[in-house]
Amino acid sequence: MIYTVTFNPALDYVVWMDTLRPGEINRTQNEAIQYGGKGINVSTVLTALGVDNVALGFLAGFTGRALEEGLRSQGIRSDFIWLPEGLTRINVKVKGGKETEINGRGPTVDAAALRALQDKLDRLEAGDILVISGSVPAALSHDVYEQILARLEDRGIQFVVDTTRDLLCSALPYHPFLIKPNNLELGEIFGKTPTTDTEIRHCAAQLQEKGARNVLVSMAGDGSLLLDERGGCYRLGVPKGTVRNSVGAGDSMVAGFLAGWLEKGDYAYAQRLGAAAGSATAFSDGLATREAVMTLLNAF
């Protein structure tokens, strides 16, 4: 079973308009509610691809109830922890010439709620996959990723970690099955953004040396590069299409990679399916559908 953890889920209120004019009344052309958070995005695309999974995390208030019901309506399984105070955040995504985002802060996750999450994670069994992604709320300790991984170490659980900087680096000693930095995030870690394939491969290799088993580097319109634990290096471009959305493309790539690896146990195929899923999200107004992913898979 795959479990995803989202520390700070959100209702994403997405609006489309010709141009955003600050200081004026703006009228939308279209609008939608989407259920956001990096782990939730992974769960959504996994479900679309027919891969069973459970979304974990923290919810609060009437916005949290709307998010839980929305996921249920899409067939996405969840087992959230309910916080006694606050509201699950609302993020505003404005598509008006350029993409503009206003992200809410979210509720406070206290020590009791974190213990409740740890209790749920203690039920995972050997062979399960745990996906931890995104930032950590300010109220939690900065080493919360490390606490979770240390608690579950040596239990045969496969870890997938998709975050940045110190959070990512602190996870490496626990030998995560997969990490998925982008090239800009590599720059944050190594102090210089790699631009060539050789530089990107060198940075990815250093992350492997520090403990990561498979390193999948996404590079937006320049494609992706994978170093796998068997010594393989794979470079993919992107299929042709018009980018309409940048939200959730990386999470979709993670979901596609896992779905591909579970299907065939082949890392090259997993990268292809991951790239197809990421592109399918980028080319749509929401997250990837199975039909869109399978169409793009044939483009590689």
Catalytic residues: 251
Q: With H, G, I as helix, E, B as strand and everything else as coil, classify residue 15.
A: strand
Adjacent-strand bridge partners of 234:
226
Supply 39's token pair.
């782990």
Cα(50)–Cα(291) distance, integer angstroms: 12
Give the helix ranges, DSSP H, for 4-50.
38-48
Amino acid letter for position 247: V
Cα(252)–Cα(81) distance, integer angstroms: 24
Q: With contact defined as beta carbons under 8 Å apart, do 245 and 285 qualify?
A: yes
What is the distance, to the nearest Å, from the Cα of residue 214 to the centroid of all Cα atoms in its chain? Answer: 16
Q: Where are the beta strands (DSSP E) in the chain?
A: 2-6, 10-16, 30-36, 53-59, 77-78, 81-82, 89-96, 98-102, 129-133, 158-162, 178-179, 214-218, 224-227, 233-236
Q: With H, G, I as helix, E, B as strand and everything else as coil, classify residue 33.
A: strand
Q: With H, G, I as helix, E, B as strand and everything else as coil, classify residue 277.
A: helix
* Number of separate helices (H) and strands (E) present in the chain: 10, 14
What is the distance, to the nearest Å, from the Cα of residue 116 to the centroid of all Cα atoms in its chain? Answer: 22
